[in-house]
Structure 1
């Protein structure tokens, strides 16, 4: 080949590597101007360049115009069609090739394999065998093994393995790696290990493949043994171990391996850093994460988008949201993974409003959400009980087609359940073509929050019938439903089945549900004995649950016991003071109430103020007790007074037991009249059009007086009122509540 032809070939190679199609066309023009009859080798390079750049039209046109062709010309155009998955055109060329060689056959097999056409690939492979074993090479076998692995065809893989042994290719590392990988991915780890051991010469790639296989299967000691037995360990080997440990939940081992790798002085890449940061996040190991971050700053990966996204995720999981924000803001380039990492972090740390905002900001930058992003922002809407915004994201899921992803559809089932639209939640569930354990659990939990115990239990039993395995969250939903409906025996039966039949070790939340179950039913002595027999002490919620039941039942003895335990566990928790005060107040022991209130003042403790909020025209209106900050206050209070008069005429009587002040009944009634949820409900009656339900969210549990009053309001106004408090949903309609006055 002439020097000038060689020069053009080098330039074409540069264009190909840089993906510069326009420059390749310009070089083509220069070749035509320079040579009257370009050499076949140069023309073949042009065809190859156009093929690799995806311009198959130019490649084919050039091929057809060639005055003469050599075997490489046919192989080049065939390879171009093969790599682009143009199966029909590839077969057309193959059928007219004057003389087929190994490259020709491999191009055909690779083309079929690349399109996942396993039957056609096997036919081509068998025809190649008939041509004679001498034309098969390592590329043929590796292509077929990779196809077997991707398609999960173990029988085909075994057949290819047999041919490899018969034809003497077992010593080739190039064949050994895909062979080990094929068996590993099929879960046949012992076959993979046997194939690995039988290959006499192994390179680093082979070792890495075997180590990876042992780690997807959870065989950690063997993977360590092979790793430390390697004569030469490269960065990929170390990263494979770190990633494998992380993916199997062995986060501490992953961090230790990272430290060893640093001591070896090996160069790390984005996957090394991404895996160790995931491990730090999994362990909530903020200090270790910061150390890794400091090390990253000194490398070439400080501006890497993959690494920066992993840093955002790590800081969010470690609850250091400020550091996550700083990393995110410093990123010069962001993709959907980066935005999603911060969005999910906001949601997981209780900043649901910020999560929704970051999603909107992402849209402004033209970043299209994936299923995980959309599912996460819908979950944030669920936490906010923001049905309007959630419904908008539902519409987006339908338009984009992302609703077909389980991540999105499960989030929507949860959204409607948490927003009180349990019928819509169930409708979506029924429309899902594919469901998993999360789908069932979302619906079970939705019915449980709504207090529909019988429906919850029926769903749970249907889940079992359909062969789905309930997890810890599922049982929390079912047990809480039993608790809220007073189904003590059924709840005890389900709790026992969780341990004995489903082999799930109860966590503190399950024990809290059982305490609640017994306490709500007034079986306080049983609840006390249950606590004494628990393998660990209840948490704050468990003690507060028992204490609340003692207040309701007027049991001072067990109430004091629970209050003392709660104070010992959390000395600055106001719940014990408030609930014990209510017990004393109900008994008229105002001196004891005063002592408790003084104790709170001395410790600088204040009761969490109750507040309620309602959404109207994409704006949230928040109310506190006796709140007059709203520009609509005069109108709200005027309407509330009119409602009070109508309620009194219907037989409404104020429940003053929740007032912890030794004042006249008239003063207590005045305090009750202006509770936050009443103000929010009246705001809804004024502004939300008739026919639409009024949705109110409260940060604390609804008091007895407000619960009773809202029943009267729903009857008088003939409006549906949905209140979501800290415990559950209450749907008030025609003077009744969905909870059956049991909450």
Structure 2
């Protein structure tokens, strides 16, 4: 090769490394102008360079104008089309080749493999064998093993293993590593270890492959033993261990490995830092995360978009939103991963409105969302119970085609379930091409939240019949449904099946469901006995659940026990005082009510004020009890007064038992008449068009009298009224509620 050709080849290599397409074209132009007959080797390098830079048209132009293309030239253009997935051009080229060698066949196979076309790749492999086993190379076997592994075709992989032994390739490390990976991915660790042990030489790549397999199967001790006995470890070995430990929930061990790696002086790359930050986020290790951040700054990795995105994610998971925002703002480049990390972080930390704002900023910046972005955004809308915005993003998912991803469809099923449109939730579920465990759990939870106990249980049974494995969230939904329907024995059976059948350890939330199940059924003594046998103490929600049922059943003794227990673990929680006051008030023990009120005042404990809100024309209107701050107050109060007289005519009788004031009944009725949800409902009746449901959200549970009154209002006005309180949805229609008056 001449000196000028060598010079141009080096320049082309630099262009490829820099991704500089324009400069490569200039070099090509200079070659045409200065060299009358460029050497074939130089033209081959031009083909390869254009292929790497993604310009297939120029690569083909160079090839078509070569006076005497060599076999290497044919292989070069074939490789270009193979790597780009252009099958028709690849087959034109392959069929026209005057001769073929192992590289030709391997490129042709790789072209099919790169797009996951296993059956076609196998056909080409068989044709190659007919052409002569001399064409076999270790790269061919490696390519086929990777493809079978990715496709989960272990039986086919075993057949290739047989060919590897038959044709004498079993001692090649380049073949052994993908063999180990294939077996370990399939969970066949004995086969993976056998391949490893039979290799005459084991390099670091093979060790890494087996360690990855062990960690993938959760065998942490075995992986640590193998890692500890490695003579030489590269940065990939360390990163493999850190990543694997993190994925197995051993975040603390992963961080210890990071410290060891640093003390060994091993250079860290973006993947090491990414895994370390994931470990910090997983165990909420904010201080360690800050230390990793400081080390990243010292090693000049802050400009790496992968590392910066991982930092944003770590700070969000640790609840340090301000730090996440600071890292995000300083990023010189932002891609869909970094935007999504911040958006998800806002949603996870309860800042759902900010998550929607970030999405709008992302779109303005020109970055297109992917399925994870849109799924997370829709989840934020679900948390806000914002059906209007969620429906808009539903439309966007249809236009973009992202609705075909299960992540997005699951988020939409959850959205409509949380926003009270259970029919839309079910319709989306039925239209999904693939329904996974998350899909079923989302729908089960939606039905449970809506009070449709029988439908929830039937759906759960169908899920089990389909062979899908429920998780803890699914069981919370089905146990809640049993509680709403008073199915005590069935609820107990499901609770027992969690550990005995499904291998799920019940959490405190599941125990709270059983407390609710027994309490709602009036079996308060059984609930007390169950609590005393629990492996952990109930939290504030558990005690409040029992206390609420004691108020309904007017059981003072167990109520006092529950209230005292709640005060011990959460002294500032007003529920213990308010619910116990309700029990005393129902019994006419006004001295005890006064004593509890004095105690609350002395301790500075205040009841959370009840408020309700309704959305109209993109604006949220918020109401509190006896609220007259709205510019529409006169219309609202006039509407309520008109409704009150019509309700009385229909048979409505105010339930004053929930009023904790020692005043006469007329004053109690007046107090009830202007609760926040009634003001919001009246606003909806005035302004929401008659064909649309009225949707109200309340921060506390709906009181018994407001629940009864809303049933009458729905009957009188012939309107659907959907109220989402702190516990569940209530759909009022034609004088009935979806909860069956059991909430």
TM-score bucket of the superposed structures, by smaller chain = over 0.9
CA–CA separation in structure 2 for the residues paired with 1:24 and 1:497: 66
Q: Secondary structure at the match of 1:366?
A: coil
Q: Deviations over 1:118-173 (max 9, x none)?
A: 44434444444455545533333323333333333334433433343344433332
Match for residue 502 of structure 1?
502
Shift of 1:280: 1.6
What is the aligned partner in structure 2 of residue 112 from structure 1? 112
Find the counterpart in structure 1 of residue 60 from structure 2: 60
Question: Using the alignment, how far apart are the partners of 2:231 and 2:539 within structure 1?
Answer: 52
Match of 1:139 in 2: 139
Deviation by residue 1:296-350 (Cα, 9 ceiling, x = unmatched): 2222112322222222222222222222222222222222222222222222222
Equivalents in 1 of 2:61, 2:287: separation in Å? 61
Q: Distance in 2 between matches of 1:497 and 1:73?
A: 65
Cα 1:126/1:499, change in 2 over 3 Å:
closer
SS at match of 2:696: strand
How much has 1:256 moved relative to structure 2?
Answer: 1.6
For 1:303, the equivalent position in structure 2 comes to: 303
Moved more, 297-306 or 571-580: 297-306
Structure 2 SS opposite 1:613: strand
* In structure 2, C-alpha distance between the alignment counterparts of 1:384 and 1:418, rounded to whole Å: 9
Residue 30 in structure 1 maps to residue 30 in structure 2: yes
Distance 2:717 2:99 in 1: 89
Cα deviation, 1:518-570, whole Å, max 9, x if unaligned, reads 21222222222222222222111111111111111211111111111111111
Residue deviations 1:492-536 (CA, integer Å, cap 9, x gap): 333333343334332222221121122122222222222222222
- Please state how far the C-alpha of 1:684 moved relative to its aligned partner: 0.4
Give the match's secondary structure for 2:428: helix
Superposition CA RMSD, Å = 2.1
For structure 1, which segment, 215-224 or 659-668, has the greater mean C-alpha deviation from structure 2 after superposition?
A: 659-668
The answer for the alignment partner of 2:630 in structure 1 is 630
Match of 1:607 in 2: 607
Distance 1:505 1:5 in 2: 69
Which stretch shifts more, 697-706 or 66-75?
A: 66-75
Give the CA deviation at 1:96. 4.0
Give the structure 1 partner of residue 276 of structure 2. Answer: 276
What corresponds to 1:380 in structure 2?
A: 380
Structure 2 residue 563 is the aligned partner of structure 1 residue 563: yes
Partner of 2:193: 193
Residue 726 of structure 1 is matched in structure 2 by: 726
Q: CA deviation at 1:603?
A: 1.0
Q: Output the TM-score relative to the length of structure 2.
A: 0.95
The alpha-carbon deviation at position 596 of structure 1 amounts to 0.9
* Gap change, CA 1:284 and 1:300, over 3 Å in 2: same
Write out per-residue CA displacement over residues 250-296 of structure 1, whole angstroms, 9 at most, x where no aligned residue. 22211221122122222211211111221122212222222222222
Change (3 A) 1:656 1:181: same
Q: Alpha-carbon deviations, 1:692-711, whole Å to 9, x = none?
A: 11110101011112112212
Question: Aligned partners of 1:503 and 1:127: how far apart in 2?
Answer: 49
Any residues of structure 2 matched to 1:236-635 within 5 Å, and which?
236-635=236-635
What is the CA–CA distance in structure 2 between the aligned matches of 1:56 and 1:392, rounded to whole Å? 40
Aligned equivalents of 2:491, 2:119: Cα separation in 1: 54
Aligned-partner Cα distance in 2 for 1:317–1:482: 34
1:85 corresponds in structure 2 to 85
Separation of aligned partners in 1, 2:240 and 2:646:
73
Instruction: Provide structure 2 residue ranges, at least 5 long, that are not aligned to the other structure.
Output: none
Find the counterpart in structure 1 of residue 680 from structure 2.
680
Change in Cα spacing, 1:86 to 1:429, as seen in structure 2 (3 Å) is: closer
1:722 is paired with a residue whose SS is strand
Distance (Å, rounded) in 1 between the aligned partners of 2:670 and 2:119: 81
Q: CA 1:617/1:527 → structure 2, altered by over 3 Å: closer, same or farther?
A: same
The structure-2 alpha-carbon separation of the partners of 1:375 and 1:268, relative to structure 1 and needing over 3 Å to count, comes to same
Question: Residues 26-64 of structure 1, C-alpha deviation per residue, up to 9 Å, x if partnerless?
Answer: 222222221222222222222332333333333333333
The DSSP-based 3-state class of the residue aligned with 1:615 is strand
Q: Look up the SS of the partner of 2:490 in the other structure.
A: helix
Residue number in structure 2 paired with 1:43: 43
Residues 132, 723 of structure 1: alpha-carbon distance in 2 compared, 3 angstrom cutoff: closer
Query: How big is the shift at 1:181?
Result: 2.1
Length, aligned pairs only: 743
| Aligned-partner SS, 1:434 | coil
SS in 1 for 2:732: strand
Query: Structure 1: which 5+ residue stretches go unaligned?
Result: none
Q: SS where residue 374 of structure 2 aligns?
A: helix
* Helix, strand or coil at the partner of 1:612: strand
Residue number in structure 1 paired with 2:11: 11
Deviation at 1:226, TM superposition (A): 1.8
Q: Distance in 1 between matches of 2:307 and 2:239?
A: 14
- SS of the residue aligned with 1:313? helix
